[in-house]
Amino acid sequence: MEKSQRIAIAKEILELIDGGEPYYGAESWEGDIGRFIDQDRFDLEKQKLFLERPQLIALSADIPNPGDYYATDIAGKPILIVRNKDGQAQAFLNACRHRGVKLAEDCGNGKGFTCPYHGWTFDNDGKLISVPSRSAFDMAQLADRDLIKLPTQEAVGVIVIHPQPGAALDLDAFLGPMKGVLEDMDLNGYELITAHRRVAQINWKHAVDGGMEAYHVPFLHPETFRTDGGGFLPHKQFGDHHAFITSGPGIRELKNLPEDQWPHSCHWGSVNAIFPNTVIGGSEMQPVLFFQRTEPMDKPGVCNYNYRLYARKSDTPEQRAARPDAIKLFMTVAFEEDLPTQVSQQIQMEAGAVKSVLFGKREACLTGMHKGYDEAIGHDVEAALRSNSRAMGV
Amino acid sequence: MEKSQRIAIAKEILELIDGGQPYYGDESWEGDVGRFIDQERFELEKQKLFLERPQLIALSADLPSPGDYFATDIAGKPILIVRGKDGTVQAFLNACRHRGVKLAEEGCGHGKGFACPYHGWTFNNEGELISVPSRSAFDVEQLANRDLIRLPTHEEIGVIAVHPQPDATLDFDEFLGPMKGVLEDIHLEEFELMATRREVARINWKHAVDGGMEAYHVPFLHPTTFGTDGGGFLPHKQFGDHHAFINSAPEILELKDKPESEWPHSCHWWSVNAIFPNTVIGGGGPRRGGVLFFQRTEPMNEAGTCNYNFRLYCRGTAASEEEKASREASVNLFLKVAFEEDLPVQVSSQIMMEAGAVRSVLFGKREACLTGMHKGYDEAIGHDAKAALLSNSKAMGV
């Protein structure tokens, strides 16, 4: 993004530090809990938020080299992303064109994909290149049996896909001003250091919510992320997306320098929620960068939790030696601290023990994201709150 | 079947072997995926393919002796098959006539009758209500008509066919048609049950029929279990509503040097048979210890789930410890192939389809039995595959 924009945000942070108060958003917002447990809403979300929109599904670092592939999913729809020999990333539906069997799991590198069922083989451009007993099929039927290609664009170290084969995809329009934020993170300077995937007993939104506010940090992460620096985090909207801003102690020194000597980063970074469910967090202060996507599966209370960690390719040997400790820290925070409270929320809600949720002024990104969800599916939160209150008799 | 028919098929096999090519059917067929995932179609199938038609539900070997029973289901409808003391097999709805509780749990057993766990009402093996605790608490005429509800049943050539509607007529010969002769030649009445497995599988019931009825996949999916040998020369044959794919032993090559009158009745071929809609009976030939399998995948409540019944049999009792060990090894091999190799790809296919990742399926000329069975399904429920393909392509945007 323009340096002037970074300077403006740095000045906001410095003002907050001077004032001694964390950032407060404009609104404390009450949300109905149907958003986490209602099956009809959930099915509508899968369609409107996921299957009918572009998704930031991966980082370029997931498939850095020609022949690399990454098999994942968007709301249960199996996606195969492949970097071909020209270095171009393409995405396909991850299903053989003969009888539909899944072609690849997780990450790997190869010349193509052979179906385990009848040996049909596709190259890294998705072309059907080998069919055992080819003459058992009509030529015309095979002419149109390349892998089904999905609209794909790669820029600023991210890969964006539209899960509908015939849809139009405009990465710039999708990311809007968030593109500049991501660009400044230099995502192409990172390499994948660990990938984790599990089925979690939470609605997918709980994990986005958990990643996008620091109000909970002193209470839930006192030993891990601790309380220092957690206090001054302006929330910023960038198009359909939201960021909360983290800064290092170095930012205080900027006050004594003329602005033209401030570094481009201005010593702040951000955790970014890319609509609807991608969370990317990292900054010059952090040794690792995380990428998180919680994919809805079949029920509102279950998701496929993808959590991937990256480190800078430029790391020194000492920094590389410290990576295992950093991985352990991030994994502990995500899966031993954050996830259990999210699971607790989900269970309480499903048990009928929760009337509504509140997102206070220190949880402004959550309010922003949830308003975006509600708008995209045409949900009236006020009406839902009233009807749930009646249903609970409170 | 007539020996002349067996000879004719043997000659077809020999021609294929001479030609060095596997059998190719007439048509490479494209099918819509709704047949595996559409809930409305699924409900219609349960009615039209299962509940309104006779079903080959068991082998005689599942209940060989008087007093034996086998509790199973047809598309979720609980069926109790019992061999009465005169050796006659009868099938009943497996529900007590008092309050409807299931009388016998799924599986096989032996006894003099069935006592309901709830209030102790007891029925004999002929389905007659023979004991009602505190009988005088009921009006006599109410109890007069409370025998188990009997289903039309016919046993012959080692198989048991049942019609799931109590008042339907069951014409065994008409149901099996020319498939009867094929089954007769297996001598199913000589087999004994070796192993049974039943589990809820995350597939539409048809995937397991499809998986059992073509060998195109064998060298890719079963390279170390079934191996690649003999997978090449398998004519597909239609027998009425049913389909078979034909296996042959290497000995078939020796027939060429003999006059036909000296060919054995088997002509050294045997078959895997799909009995409409979902019964697959295969094996029992000279290979793999003579193990025979019986498979039925019963539809349950959702298109993507079935009750997978897989049962294994051998001819007579093993003559030696060695033969016994070889049979057990073959049984384990079949279980491994079915549940560790075939089922996972079928589950994968099902999940991909439900996820909207599959536009259509192709059944090539080496999958001719599948085309035959699926055309039969479509005809029975009045489904237009071509129209469904068009509409799904539009929905997927491709």
Q: Which residue in chain B is spatially nearest to A77 when comparing CA positions?
A: B355
Distance of residue A43 Cα from the nearest chain B Cα, in angstroms: 13
Contact residues, B window 17-56, toward A, CB-based 8 Å cutoff: 22, 24, 28, 30, 33
Q: Which residues of B touch A120 (CB under 8 A)?
A: none
Which residues does B86 contact at the CB level (< 8 Å), separation at least 6? Answer: B66
Chain B residues in contact with A51 (beta carbon < 8 A): 356
pLDDT value of position A93: 97
| A90 and chain B in contact, CB less than 8 A | no
Predicted confidence band of residue B229 (pLDDT cuts 50, 70, 90) = low
pLDDT score of A227: 52
Judged by CB atoms closer than 8 Å, whether chains meet at B348 and A102 is answered as: yes
Q: Which chain A residues are closer than 8 Å to B345 by Cβ?
A: 101, 116-117
Tell me the shortest Cα–Cα distance from A122 to chain B, in angstroms: 15
Q: Do B397 and A167 touch (CB under 8 A)?
A: yes
Starting at the edge strand found earlier in the chain, the sheet holding A235-238 runs A190-200, A303-312, A288-296, A278-282, A268-274, A241-247, A235-238
Residue A231 has pLDDT above 60, yes or no: no
Interface test with A, best of B213, B348, B353, B389 (most A CBs within 10 A): B348
Per the model's pLDDT, the better-predicted residue between A237 and B318 turns out to be A237
User: What pLDDT does A232 receive?
Assistant: 67
Condensed to tens digits (0 to 9), the pLDDT of residues B128-178 reads 999 999 999 999 999 999 999 999 999 999 999 999 999 999 999 999 999
Separation in Å, CA of B45 to nearest CA in chain A: 21
Q: Does any CB of chain B come closer than 8 Å to the CB of residue A77?
A: yes
For CA atoms A293, A296, A301, A306, give the dihedral sign: negative
Kind plus residue range of the DSSP H or E element containing A314: none
- How many angstroms away from the CA of A305 is the closest CA of chain B? 17
State the average pLDDT over residues B68-85: 97
Q: What pLDDT sits at residue A309?
A: 98
User: In 3D, which of B84, B81, B88 has the Cα closest to residue B62?
Assistant: B81
Is the ipTM of this structure higher than 0.90?
A: no
Nearest CA in chain B to A166: B397
Contact B216 A102 (CB under 8 A): no
pLDDT of A275 over the 70 cut: yes
Cβ–Cβ contact A7 with B under 8 A: no
The pLDDT of residue B285 is above 80: no
Nearest CA in chain A to B346: A101
**What is the rounded distance in angstroms from the CA atom of residue B128 to the CA atom of residue B107?**
21
- Label residue A75 by pLDDT band (50, 70, 90): very high
pLDDT digits (tens, 9 = 90+) for B361-396: 999 999 999 999 999 999 999 999 999 999 887 777
pLDDT average, residue stretch B258-269: 95
Judged on CB neighbours under 10 Å (0-12, 13-18, 19+), A329 is middle
pLDDT of residue A392: 76
Find the Cα–Cα–Cα–Cα dihedral A111, A115, A120, A121, rounded to 10°.
Answer: -10
pLDDT attached to residue A389: 79
Contact of B362 with chain A, judged by CB distance below 8 Å, is answered with: yes
pLDDT (average), residues A142-169: 96
| B209 inside 8 A of chain A by CB | no
Q: How confident is the model at residue B165, as a pLDDT? A: 97
Q: What percent of chain A has pLDDT over 90?
A: 86
- Average pLDDT on A8-19 reads 91
Q: Which two tokens stand for residue A361?
A: 């002024």
Q: What is the 3-state secondary structure (H, E, C) of A41-91?
A: HHHHHHHHHHHCCCEEEEEHHHCCCCCEEEEEEECCEEEEEEECCCCCEEE
Say whether pLDDT at A229 is over 80: no
Q: Flag whether pLDDT at A344 surpasses 70.
A: yes
Q: Which of A50, A99, A139 to mutate to test the interface with B (most CBs of B within 10 A)?
A: A99
Which residue of chain A has the CA closest to B32?
A: A99
Task: Tell me the per-residue pLDDT of A239-261, one tens digit each, with 9 for 90 and over.
Answer: 999 999 988 888 989 999 999 99
Judge whether residue A221 has pLDDT over 90.
Answer: no
Coil, helix or strand for A191? strand
The helix/strand/coil state of B222 is coil
Q: What is the mean pLDDT of residues A23-51?
A: 96
Quote the DSSP letter at residue A160: E
Mention every residue, 6+ apart, whose C-beta is less than 8 A from residue A359: A28, A29, A30, A31, A209, A213, A366, A367, A370
- A35 contact B CB<8A: no
> Of B364, B365, B398, which is closest to A148 when you measure between CB atoms?
B398
Say whether B373 sits in a helix, a strand or coil: helix
* Chain A residues within 8 A of B357 when measuring between CB atoms: 77-78, 93-95, 100, 148
pLDDT at A228: 53
Chain B touched by A94 (CB under 8 Å): yes
Q: How many CB atoms sit inside 10 A of residue A137's CB?
A: 21
* Residue A307 pLDDT class (50, 70, 90 cuts): very high
Across all residues in chain B, what is the average pLDDT?
94
Q: Is the pLDDT of residue A198 over 50?
A: yes
Which of chain A's residues have a Cβ under 8 Å away from the Cβ of B30? 141
Task: Give the closest-approach CA distance of B133 to chain A in angstroms.
Answer: 43
Distance CA A389, CA A385 (A): 6
Predicted pLDDT of residue A230: 47
Using only C-alpha atoms, chain A has a radius of gyration, in whole angstroms, of 22
Is B352 an 8 Å CB contact of chain A?
Answer: yes
CA of A150, closest CA in chain B: separation in Å?
10
Per-residue pLDDT of B321-339, as tens digits, reads 999 999 999 999 999 999 9
Contact flag B216-A132 (C-beta cutoff 8 Å): yes
> Closest chain B residue to A120 measured between Cα atoms?
B220
Residue range A311-319: mean pLDDT, rounded: 97
Of A264-273, A332-341, B50-59, B243-252, the least confident:
B243-252
Confirm or reject contact between A391 and chain B (CB < 8 A): no
Long-range contacts of the stretch A253-262 (C-beta < 8 A, 24+): A254/A10, A254/A14, A255/A14, A259/A7, A262/A3, A262/A7, A262/A10
Rounded distance between C-alpha atoms, residue B203 and residue B217, angstroms: 18
pLDDT at res. B231: 45
Contact criterion met (CB < 8 Å) for B361 and A95: no
Tell me phi and psi for residue B9, to 5 degrees: -70, -40
Coil, strand, or helix at residue B186? helix
What is the amino acid identity at position B234? L
Q: How far does the CA of residue B232 sit from the closest CA of chain A (Å)?
A: 11
The verdict on B389 touching A (C-beta cutoff 8 Å) is: no
Local confidence band at A394 (pLDDT 50, 70, 90 cut-offs): low
Using a CB-CB cut-off of 8 Å, the residues of chain A touching B348 are 100-102
